[in-house]
Amino acid sequence: MSDELYPSGPWMGFYNYRPGDRHRMDMDLTFANGSMTGEGNDDIGRFLIKGRYDKASGECYWTKSYIGAHQVAYRGFREGKGIWGTWEISLFGHGGFRIWPGSADEGQSRSEPVEQTQPVEPLVAPVAASGRLTPAARAQQNIVPLLVTLLIAAFVIAAPVARASSADWPQFRGPNCSGVALDARPPLRISPTNGVLWSVPVPWSPSSPCVSGGMIFLTTITDGQLQTRCYASDRGRLVWANSVGVEQLELFHNSEGSPAASTPAAEGGRVVSYFGSFGLVCYDSQGGELWRHPLPIARSAGSFGTGTSPVIAGNRVILSRDQDQGSSLFALDLATGKTIWETPRPEAHGSFGTPILWRNGGTDQVVTPGSVRLNGYDLKSGLERWSVHGVAGFACTTPVTGEGLLFFAAWSPGKSDSPRPSWESFLAEYDKNGDGEISLKEVPAAGRDFLRGLDVNRDGKITKDDYDQVKANDAKAENTLLAIQPNGLGDISKLHVAWKSTRGLPYVASPLLYKGKLYLLRDGGMLSCFDATTGRAFYLQERLEAADQYYASPVAADGRIYLASVPGRLTVIKAGGDKPETLHRADFGERVFATPALVGTRLYLRTKTKLYAFGK
């Protein structure tokens, strides 16, 4: 139901940062009973709109949520043939806008003064014929002085970081899990004793920091309680810590896994955490619980423990929950936690990667790795759109997108570069009592958690049938890097692969696409770099001085790439070039599993015992 002032259908317009500039927006909006919803595109990307309007006052409020990225708050008034007003990302990120129905006279709408839309320009308030201020004028009187004051405060108090204050790292690996912060300027020469703004003790868990609205969110386990924690980014003060109780924890690898390994996702004052032993829980920025979505205890591949993290796509929470049995991809309502759709993934019995979003062939899709397959699903319906067969047997990495392509690189044991021994050799090494099968108690304690994954039916012993099933899955897998072209449907394994490589493949650290180049970090500190468009290798498996295991994924900003190894050695290299050029090295002296977060002029790093904030 729409009306003359708020017609449903196509709308167009622009937003701006300063007087004179215009960035086009095209939208399809629905107005009904005071609520407005819709979707659209602009020069940043595709977005969803959800808000309210008041016919009596002409006032409108809505949130513009970019798919897989940030949110923008809009406030406007119906005036003339359109709606004009201001937008705000955070305290210091402001601008103006004007939109109008597609049926309106676009030329006339565009001819109206642009300066009306500027939140920081002094304006002369328009007066109605009656002598009373119009709704737009009243808004102007209230909004403009406030925004001018805030903007002046930004430059007087914190001019160098005003730009950074509007930036977030809203989920695992930041915006759309890319590992890239385009506008960040983090410090270079950091160490436990250099560039530290603050550090605070944190309980151990491998989840990474998520930064939103000036707060840092982590998951952890302490005293048997699965916990979401919120720290203030200014000084590291613990703001709140909320726990969810469970009757039983999922099985997990005691040294390499954790029941609190998933990174939270945060948008618009909400933070969502996932625990394999519990399900999902959502809090507001003050720690108030908004909803919970319990799920059965996860049975992860190899009993390693959960590895995936939730992501937020507009008004939806996306979770890929792959298990030994009963794997599914979920979309939940961010506001209520209710299921929008659930798509079974029976073929996915062992993966740990996090899904991403891909604008593909005119539709928004969820891309998630699995077992021997990579799949793309429609974001709205959850229907599978395409699949690629013949990738790693179980994936620990997350895909990335850019340069018009989708990139996925993963490695798992069982292929030619890490073959499994024959059953006879394996039995001879571990079958201590000679009964023709291997009880987990016969395996030395140091290796028990690793070999537990071979017990396919979870009966406490590894039999030839178990081993044959594992090797059969190995035979279907291929360790590879793929560059996938868009617009495919069904099985696109052959027709939509632009290029591929089998060198330098990562085990846990996800690929990094930065400034047209794709970087892979293989265990042993071997770094490779490819031209993202053509696949040409600039260098292959160049060994870093920190020749270690890597669980943290590479991140990049300001022309630099940050690499943190499991033993805690940090290497910073210059992006690009024909060989990796090391700019800085540091040793934190304890294990690092978490991927760093890059926000403004800061870098946040979680080690085994501490959370650090580095800055200039």
Q: Which residue has better confidence, 268 or 201?
A: 201
Identify the CATH number of the domain in which residue 447 sits: 1.10.238.10
Q: Is the dihedral of CA 421, 425, 431, 435 positive or negative?
A: positive
Q: Which residue has better confidence, 270 or 105?
A: 270
109 pLDDT higher than 70: no
Q: Assess if residue 47 is contained within a domain.
A: yes
**Paired strand residues for 231:** 216, 238
Upper half-sphere CA count for residue 341 (Cβ side, 13 Å)? 13
3-state class (DSSP) for residue 371: coil
Average pLDDT value for the chain: 85
Instruction: Please indicate, yes or no, whether residues 343 and 369 belong to a single structural domain of this protein.
Output: yes
Instruction: Please indicate, yes or no, whether residues 203 and 238 belong to a single structural domain of this protein.
Output: yes
Give residue-wise pLDDT tens across range 338-375.
Answer: 999 999 998 887 788 999 999 998 899 999 998 889 99
Identify the CATH number of the domain in which residue 204 sits: 2.130.10.10
What's the pLDDT score for residue 161?
26
What's the pLDDT score for residue 160?
27
Task: Label residue 93 by pLDDT band (50, 70, 90).
Answer: low
344-347 CB contacts, 8 Å cutoff, 24+ apart: 345/320, 345/370, 345/375, 347/371, 347/372, 347/373
228-237 CB contacts, 8 Å cutoff, 24+ apart: 228/264, 228/271, 228/273, 228/281, 228/283, 229/202, 230/271, 230/285, 230/287, 231/200, 231/611, 233/599, 233/602, 233/604, 233/613, 235/198, 236/198, 236/199, 236/200, 236/611, 236/613
Q: Assess if residue 350 is contained within a domain.
A: yes
3-state class (DSSP) for residue 357: strand
What tokens were used for 166?
Answer: 């509007």
96 pLDDT higher than 80: yes
Q: Is the dihedral of CA 114, 119, 123, 125 positive or negative?
A: positive
Least confident of 128-137, 514-523, 566-575: 128-137
Q: How far apart are CA 164 and CA 295, in angstroms?
A: 37
Task: Label residue 104 by pLDDT band (50, 70, 90).
Answer: low
Q: How far apart are CA 519 and CA 213, in angstroms?
A: 30
| Pairing state between β 82-88 and 94-101 | antiparallel
**Paired strand residues for 517:** 514, 531
Identify whether the C-beta of residue 281 lies closer than 8 Å to the C-beta of residue 244.
yes
Arithmetic mean of pLDDT, 522-536: 97
Identify whether the C-beta of residue 61 lies closer than 8 Å to the C-beta of residue 75.
yes
What percent of the chain shows pLDDT beyond 70?
86
Arithmetic mean of pLDDT, 586-596: 97
Q: Residues with Cβ < 8 Å from 162, sequence gap 6 or more?
A: 92, 154, 155
Task: Label residue 256 by pLDDT band (50, 70, 90).
Answer: confident
- Number of folded domains that form the chain: 3
What's the pLDDT score for residue 186?
96
What tokens were used for 179?
Answer: 């590992």
What's the pLDDT score for residue 303?
67
Q: Assess if residue 449 is contained within a domain.
A: yes
Identify whether the C-beta of residue 73 lies closer than 8 Å to the C-beta of residue 52.
no
Identify the CATH number of the domain in which residue 115 sits: 2.40.128.120
Q: Assess if residue 136 is contained within a domain.
A: yes
Instruction: Please indicate, yes or no, whether residues 70 and 190 belong to a single structural domain of this protein.
Output: no
Phi and psi angles of residue 346, each rounded to the nearest 5 degrees, phi first: -65, -25
Instruction: Please indicate, yes or no, whether residues 157 and 171 belong to a single structural domain of this protein.
Output: no
Least confident of 163-167, 331-335, 471-475, 595-599: 163-167
Least confident of 4-13, 149-158, 498-507: 149-158
Instruction: Please indicate, yes or no, whether residues 186 and 262 belong to a single structural domain of this protein.
Output: yes
115 pLDDT higher than 50: no
What tokens were used for 303?
Answer: 């009993």
Q: Assess if residue 535 is contained within a domain.
A: yes
Instruction: Please indicate, yes or no, whether residues 386 and 440 belong to a single structural domain of this protein.
Output: no
Question: Considering 101, 126, 161, which residue would you say is the last residue of a domain?
Answer: 161
Give residue-wise pLDDT tens across range 469-526.
Answer: 888 888 888 999 999 999 999 999 999 999 999 999 999 999 999 999 999 999 999 9
Q: Assess if residue 551 is contained within a domain.
A: yes
Of 315, 320, 311, 355, the residue nearest 333 (C-alpha): 315
527 pLDDT higher than 90: yes
CA distance readout (Å), 609 to 55, 217, 232, 461, 502: 55, 16, 18, 35, 36
Instruction: Please indicate, yes or no, whether residues 283 and 394 belong to a single structural domain of this protein.
Output: yes
Question: Considering 161, 194, 211, which residue would you say is the last residue of a domain?
Answer: 161
Instruction: Please indicate, yes or no, whether residues 461 and 490 belong to a single structural domain of this protein.
Output: no
Instruction: Please indicate, yes or no, whether residues 227 and 196 belong to a single structural domain of this protein.
Output: yes
What's the pLDDT score for residue 128?
35
Question: Considering 107, 139, 161, which residue would you say is the last residue of a domain?
Answer: 161
In which residue are the tokens 């899904």 written?
355
Instruction: Please indicate, yes or no, whether residues 447 and 542 belong to a single structural domain of this protein.
Output: no
Most confident of 342-356, 375-389, 431-445: 375-389
Length of the chain in terms of residues written: 616
pTM: 0.73
Q: Assess if residue 277 is contained within a domain.
A: yes
Q: What 8-state DSSP symbol labels residue 50?
A: E
Q: Assess if residue 206 is contained within a domain.
A: yes
Domain range holding 404?
Answer: 167-412+477-615
Upper half-sphere CA count for residue 89 (Cβ side, 13 Å)? 19
Give residue-wise pLDDT tens across range 280-297.
Answer: 999 999 999 999 999 998
Calculate Rg over the CA atoms of the chain.
Answer: 26
Instruction: Please indicate, yes or no, whether residues 188 and 291 belong to a single structural domain of this protein.
Output: yes
Arithmetic mean of pLDDT, 546-556: 96
Instruction: Please indicate, yes or no, whether residues 356 and 443 belong to a single structural domain of this protein.
Output: no
**403 class by beta-carbon count within 10 Å (0-12 exposed, 13-18 middle, 19+ buried):** middle
